[in-house]
């Protein structure tokens, strides 16, 4: 099914100029450029229901979470729903003396069967969960299962039986009851033998074979297919792509999906460094009943869009927000469960009000920190710029509020009230680097995160025109202690007493001043 290599090469040669300041994957000329979303949507699973494609990804400790996207062409995606509004299965999701950084929901399996949608996932501490819905837009119902399945691949067979493929290095098959509890023992069906780390099994039945579409993970990860005519094996193995694509990291872990016109594609991610892990869209050609990914063993960068029999509008996911709606935009998620009584979009219409939700030592412990992914886009020398307008009249002594770029390490520019005086300060990895006293009640705070250098700089303004740099650079990392990409964060926390609040009038983000909608 793959397009001829001559189609790809001219596009690759001119690709850097073609998409230098572009905000979306779709090039508007019948081609697209990978990553298909240039932001942290890792561990993708994708299905097609009629003419609509749905994708789920890992959100870990961010809620609302277990985010579902939808598309009609596999290139232009939009938000559909968040399956889990909050996790009330441990006090750690409330940052109550513990946390779920690097834990929480991950590697979700998405299926549609007989009119119902299913999401099966695991958390490292609480075990397994299944979410179900009759409509992908929700509402979703979550059920805590008696046990979890590592990197589960849910599968509904033709004979009515339900299976889950799961495991790390040793891949097991388990038959499930209709309530998703194990019906029998786990059966070992394959042990990774290329190197250690086989995982991420997605299960399909195609051309009379059972397929387990798996990864040998890591930054140099690669994708394999296991196949057998029997669900319990024996399975044979083939590498279907082992290529460090345009980002210099391995293309691995994702899903297979067929269009209505019979084309096969794989939505499969690459590690993207500090901004997280990005989904790419790769063509699939069947060769001797093996799903070979890319073209001639290489992942494509700029390529012809899938033939879905229709023209779809060019889209980019929203990021900026004027806070004029009665609901938060779906680009936002809270760092752990929010305290619902301590934030509001209605107390001062047109503003997001964050009230302090507890006395904490620092940002990592602060509840009601509102986050969103940082987009890298299609020019490595462009910075992703986030700017917020903030009113600080009602802060209490010791309160700290502002704009952060959060991972491990993190940094922020903020306002701290010290003995009745407001100070603009820049904090890097918990250490105050710079501080300037101010009498202003309205300030504009800015963070410029450069994907190409993995560095963020901070500045502030009193008029939204002249911005003054403050502090030093944050050297962004993708640290497994957090396990999500760096995010922009709006926050307000107390270090002495609760009762203070700040109002965020708007948050705007884009590339070097080119704002996203």
Enumerate residues 6+ apart whose C-beta is below 8 A from 4.
Answer: none
Residues 89 and 133 grouped into a single domain: yes
**Closest to 341 measured CA to CA, from 326, 356, 362:** 356
Q: Which two tokens stand for residue 120?
A: 């099966």
Strands (E), 217-263: 222-228, 236-241, 251-258
Distance separating the N- and C-terminal Cα atoms of the chain: 36
Residues 345 and 291 grouped into a single domain: no
For the domain that residue 416 is a member of, what is the CATH number?
Answer: 2.60.120.200
Residues 102 and 169 grouped into a single domain: yes
Q: Which two tokens stand for residue 164?
A: 């889950």
Q: Which two tokens stand for residue 171?
A: 């891949």
Q: Confidence class of residue 274 from pLDDT cuts 50, 70 and 90?
A: very high
- Cα 389 to Cα 86: distance, rounded to the nearest angstrom: 28
Task: Report the percentage of the chain scoring pLDDT > 90.
Answer: 91
- Sign of the Cα torsion 420, 425, 431, 434 reads negative
Is the residue at 254 inside a domain?
yes
Q: What is the pLDDT of residue 21?
A: 54
Residues 25 and 124 grouped into a single domain: yes
- Cα 93 to Cα 99: distance, rounded to the nearest angstrom: 6
- pLDDT of 14 higher than 70: no
Answer yes or no: are the C-beta atoms of 152 and 122 closer than 8 Å.
Answer: yes
Q: What is the pLDDT of residue 380?
A: 63
Is the residue at 320 inside a domain?
no
- Cα 446 to Cα 399: distance, rounded to the nearest angstrom: 19
- pLDDT of 517 higher than 90: no
Q: Which two tokens stand for residue 312?
A: 């779809």
The mean pLDDT value of the chain amounts to 93
- The DSSP symbol for 299 reads -
3-state SS string for 460-502: EECCCCCCEEEEEEEECCCCCCCCCCCEEEEEEEECCCCCCEE
- pLDDT of 16 higher than 80: no
Residues 422 and 480 grouped into a single domain: yes
Q: What is the pLDDT of residue 512?
A: 54
Average pLDDT of span 496-508: 98
Element holding 6 (H helix, E strand): helix 5-18
Residues 296 and 377 grouped into a single domain: no
Q: What is the pLDDT of residue 516?
A: 52
Residues 227 and 279 grouped into a single domain: yes
- Cα 167 to Cα 103: distance, rounded to the nearest angstrom: 17
Is the residue at 226 inside a domain?
yes
For the domain that residue 120 is a member of, what is the CATH number?
Answer: 2.115.10.20
Count of beta carbons in the 10 Å neighbourhood of residue 21: 12
Q: What is the pLDDT of residue 453?
A: 94
CA distances from 315 to 24, 140, 166 (A): 7, 26, 35
Is the residue at 310 inside a domain?
no
**Closest to 367 measured CA to CA, from 377, 356, 376, 383:** 356
For the chain, the domain total comes to: 2
* Chain segment 40-68, per-residue pLDDT in tens: 999 999 999 999 999 999 999 999 999 99
Residues 442 and 480 grouped into a single domain: yes
Residues 239 and 116 grouped into a single domain: yes
Residues 481 and 382 grouped into a single domain: yes
Q: Confidence class of residue 515 from pLDDT cuts 50, 70 and 90?
A: low
Q: Which two tokens stand for residue 257?
A: 């999906």
**Closest to 364 measured CA to CA, from 256, 489, 259, 242:** 489
CA distances from 176 to 11, 26, 108, 145, 162 (A): 47, 40, 17, 11, 5
* Chain segment 67-114, per-residue pLDDT in tens: 999 999 999 999 999 999 999 999 999 999 999 999 999 999 999 999
Strands (E), 275-376: 277-287, 290-293, 302-304, 333-335, 343-344, 352-355, 370-373
- pLDDT of 20 higher than 70: no
**Closest to 343 measured CA to CA, from 351, 318, 487:** 351
- Cα 78 to Cα 69: distance, rounded to the nearest angstrom: 6
Show which of 304, 320, 341 is a domain's final residue. Answer: 304
Q: What is the pLDDT of residue 369?
A: 98
Is the residue at 389 inside a domain?
yes
Residues 129 and 256 grouped into a single domain: yes
- pLDDT of 477 higher than 60: yes
**Closest to 155 measured CA to CA, from 221, 79, 209:** 209
In this structure, of 6-10, 173-177, 230-234, 320-324, the range with the lowest mean pLDDT score is: 6-10
CA distances from 485 to 56, 81, 271, 376, 481 (A): 16, 20, 10, 11, 11
Is the residue at 264 inside a domain?
yes
* Chain segment 332-353, per-residue pLDDT in tens: 999 999 999 999 999 999 999 9
| Radius of gyration of the chain from its Cα atoms, rounded to whole angstroms | 23
Is the residue at 318 inside a domain?
no
Answer yes or no: are the C-beta atoms of 201 and 213 closer than 8 Å.
Answer: yes
Its pTM stands at 0.94
**Closest to 164 measured CA to CA, from 150, 178, 175:** 175
Residues 389 and 256 grouped into a single domain: no
Q: What is the extent of the structural domain holding 399?
A: 333-515
Is the residue at 317 inside a domain?
no
* Chain segment 430-465, per-residue pLDDT in tens: 999 999 999 999 999 999 999 999 999 999 999 999
Q: What is the pLDDT of residue 8?
A: 34
Helices within 255-388 (DSSP H only): none
């Amino acid at each position: 099914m793959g397009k001829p290599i001559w189609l790809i090469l001219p596009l690759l040669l001119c690709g850097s100029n073609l998409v230098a300041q572009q905000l979306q994957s779709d090039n508007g000329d019948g081609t697209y450029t990978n990553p298909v979303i240039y932001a942290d949507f890792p561990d993708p699973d994708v299905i097609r229901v009629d003419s609509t494609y749905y994708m789920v990804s890992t959100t870990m400790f961010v809620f609302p979470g277990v985010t579902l996207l939808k598309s009609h062409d596999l290139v232009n995606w939009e938000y559909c729903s968040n399956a889990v509004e909050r996790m009330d299965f441990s006090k750690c999701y409330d940052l109550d003396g513990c946390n779920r950084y690097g834990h929480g929901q991950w590697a979700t399996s998405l299926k549609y069967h007989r009119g119902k949608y299913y999401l099966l996932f695991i958390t490292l501490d609480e075990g397994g969960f299944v979410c179900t819905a009759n409509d992908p837009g929700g509402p979703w119902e979550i059920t805590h299962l008696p046990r979890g399945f590592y990197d589960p691949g849910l599968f509904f067979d033709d004979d009515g039986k339900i299976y889950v493929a799961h495991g790390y290095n040793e891949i097991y098959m388990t038959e499930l009851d209709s309530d998703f509890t194990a019906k029998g023992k786990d059966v070992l069906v394959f042990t990774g033998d290329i190197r250690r780390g086989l995982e991420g099994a997605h299960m399909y039945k195609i051309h009379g074979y059972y397929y387990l579409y798996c990864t040998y993970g890591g930054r140099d990860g690669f994708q394999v297919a296991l196949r057998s005519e029997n669900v319990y094996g024996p399975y044979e193995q083939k590498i279907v792509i082992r290529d460090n694509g345009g980002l210099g990291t391995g293309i691995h872990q994702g899903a297979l999906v067929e269009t209505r016109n019979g084309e096969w594609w794989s939505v499969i991610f690459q590690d993207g460094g500090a901004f997280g892990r990005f989904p790419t869209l790769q063509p699939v050609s069947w060769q001797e009943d093996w799903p070979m990914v890319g073209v001639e063993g290489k992942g494509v960068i700029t390529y012809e869009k899938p033939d879905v029999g229709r023209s779809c509008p060019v889209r980019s996911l929203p990021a900026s927000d004027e806070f004029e709606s009665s609901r938060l935009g779906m680009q936002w998620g809270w760092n752990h469960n929010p305290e619902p009584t301590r934030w509001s979009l209605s107390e001062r219409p047109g503003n997001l009000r964050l009230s302090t939700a507890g006395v904490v030592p620092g940002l990592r412990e602060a509840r009601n920190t509102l986050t969103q992914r940082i987009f890298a886009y299609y020019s490595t020398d462009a910075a992703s710029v986030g700017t917020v307008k903030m009113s600080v009249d009602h802060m209490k002594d010791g309160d700290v509020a502002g704009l952060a770029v959060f991972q491990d390490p993190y940094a922020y520019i903020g306002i701290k009230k010290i003995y009745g005086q407001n100070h603009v300060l820049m904090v890097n990895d918990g250490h105050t680097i710079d501080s300037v006293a101010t009498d202003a009640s309205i300030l504009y705070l800015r963070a410029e995160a450069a994907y190409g250098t993995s560095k963020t700089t901070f500045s502030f303004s009193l008029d939204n025109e002249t911005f003054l740099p403050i502090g030093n650079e944050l050297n962004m990392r993708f640290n497994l202690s957090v396990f999500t990409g760096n995010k922009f964060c709006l926050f307000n926390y107390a270090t002495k007493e609760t009762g203070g609040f700040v109002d965020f009038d708007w948050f705007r983000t884009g590339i070097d001043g080119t704002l996203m909608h």
